[in-house]
Amino acid sequence: MKALILSCNTGQGHNTAARAILEELTARGIECEMQDALAFASQFISDTVCGIYNKAAVHIPRVLGAGISVAKGIARIFKKDSPCYVANLPYANKVYRYIKENGFDTIIMPHVFPSEALTWVERRLPNEDDLRTCFIATDYAYPPFLSETELDIYFIPHEDLRETFVEAGVPRDKIVVSGIPVSSAFRAPTTKEEAREALGLPQDKRILLVMTGSMGYGNTGELTARLLERLPENTLVYVMGGNNEKMKAAIRAAHAGDERLTVLDFTDKVSLYLAASDLLFTKPGGLSSTEAAVRGIPVLHTKPIPGWEQENIAFFREHGLSDHGENAEALVTKALFLLANPHRGEEMVENQRKHINAFAARDIVDHLLKTEPK
């Protein structure tokens, strides 16, 4: 097997899942690489499309949510050849040439965009039996336009979502329940004490972690202020602000001198911070939520980007994996309850172990090796 992973930079969840698969393939000595699918059209197009999406998510989330709703409506109307499919055709032939020139036989895609491009390849070359195409869902929801793709395998996050994908039009016999792949770092056997020692954090205080995603989404300033107003003195708050420099600067300025608060710059030690913390506030992205569940920490989901993040919250709450607050005041109240009733957090973590597959990347690669093209 020689694998090409095609991802997109619309948020970092797709890339995070892609890198988890890349990590697993590399660890097994399987030849592989990861590419930005839209860059096959041009780097300018990739930067423009992804820049618009990311800015909309931070600054005008309601408009983005409306766009997602429109996309769902369009997807119901078009059974084939939707505007999404047509938009991904210009680079499809270039991707195919790259695949053939480099001898890839397995294409793995954690995004609908390249899945549309490879569908064009599958339709144009239906006898291309030595080329296997695979989609990996990165949210606990069915993504619009997926049903018009014609791939070989669809990896989905949970058995309870199977019928959702089937009803949307994905062939039942092509669905494989795998979970969402995350890096092996999140299942490393690290105790809270070990993680705190590695990060230089105090052992005798409770630590609350606030994650906003790579874009720094959400009203983190208000949440931080409410936490510092109501939490006991022996509790520290760490805020991961991603790449949102404006937000980080504002929070630091508003609470200058308060030693209970630390605003972190971009870090590659997310797994350690999760292991070191007692409670997590996070936007309900599919990947960030899965990483937290694999690590095993009580989770309070913050305000979602309208669309599939709302469906992520619904799935997590239905299965007892997290709780959610509509605003900062509700989130702080629920945090105080969980801190005062640690058994409720332990129940949440136990449900995470029950419903979230920590070895999804391994299982996906196992399946690909067992069904390798002849």
At a CB cut-off of 8 Å and minimum separation 6, what does 245 contact? Answer: none
Model confidence at 180, pLDDT cuts 50, 70, 90, reads: very high
Mean pLDDT, residues 193-212: 95
Mean pLDDT, residues 88-115: 94
Per-residue pLDDT, 46: 73
Say yes or no to pLDDT of 115 above 80: yes
Would residue 52 be called left, alpha or beta, if left means φ above 0 and alpha means ψ between -120 and 50 degrees? alpha
Mean pLDDT, residues 344-356: 96
Q: What token pair was written down for 80?
A: 């084939």
- The predicted-structure confidence for 307-349, as pLDDT tens digits, reads as follows 778 999 999 999 999 999 989 999 999 999 999 999 999 999 9
Q: Above pLDDT 70, what percent of the chain? A: 88
277, amino acid identity: S
Highest-confidence range of 116-130, 136-150, 303-317, by mean pLDDT? 136-150
3-state secondary structure 100-149: HHHCCCEEEECCHHHHHHHHHHHHHCCCCCCCEEEEECCCCCCCCCHHHC
Per-residue pLDDT, 13: 84
At a CB cut-off of 8 Å and minimum separation 6, what does 279 contact? Answer: 206, 208, 209, 297, 298, 300, 335, 338, 339, 345
Calpha distance 322→332 (Å, rounded) = 14
Per the prediction, the chain carries an average pLDDT of 88
Per-residue pLDDT, 66: 45
At a CB cut-off of 8 Å and minimum separation 6, what does 2 contact? Answer: 30, 31, 32, 102, 103, 104, 105, 106
Model confidence at 53, pLDDT cuts 50, 70, 90, reads: low
2-182+358-370: what fold?
Answer: Rossmann fold (3.40.50)
Calpha distance 243→48 (Å, rounded) = 18
Of residues 20, 68, 106, 81, the one with CA closest to residue 373: 106
Calpha distance 355→160 (Å, rounded) = 10
Number of CB atoms found within 10 A of residue 279's CB? 20
At a CB cut-off of 8 Å and minimum separation 6, what does 318 contact? Answer: none
Are the C-beta atoms of residues 315 and 140 closer than 8 Å to each other? yes
* Model confidence, pTM: 0.90
In a 3-state reduction of DSSP, which class is residue 82?
coil
Model confidence at 64, pLDDT cuts 50, 70, 90, reads: very low
Mean pLDDT, residues 29-54: 81
159, amino acid identity: E
Q: At 35, which helix (H) or strand (E)?
A: strand 31-36
Say yes or no to pLDDT of 59 above 50: no
Q: What residue ranges do the domains of the chain occupy?
A: 2-182+358-370, 185-355
Q: Above pLDDT 90, what percent of the chain? A: 68
Using DSSP bridges, classify how beta strands 175-177 and 153-156 pair: parallel, antiparallel or unpaired.
Answer: parallel
Model confidence at 63, pLDDT cuts 50, 70, 90, reads: very low
**Does domain 185-355 bear CATH number 3.40.50.2000?**
yes
At a CB cut-off of 8 Å and minimum separation 6, what does 132 contact? Answer: 105, 106, 107, 152, 153, 368, 371, 372, 373
Model confidence at 139, pLDDT cuts 50, 70, 90, reads: very high
Least confident range from 96-100, 152-156, 187-191, 214-218: namely 214-218
Mean pLDDT, residues 266-274: 92
- Burial (CB count within 10 angstroms: exposed 0-12, middle 13-18, buried 19+), residue 168: middle
DSSP state of 304: P
Calpha distance 155→153 (Å, rounded) = 6
Would residue 171 be called left, alpha or beta, if left means φ above 0 and alpha means ψ between -120 and 50 degrees? beta
Model confidence at 279, pLDDT cuts 50, 70, 90, reads: very high
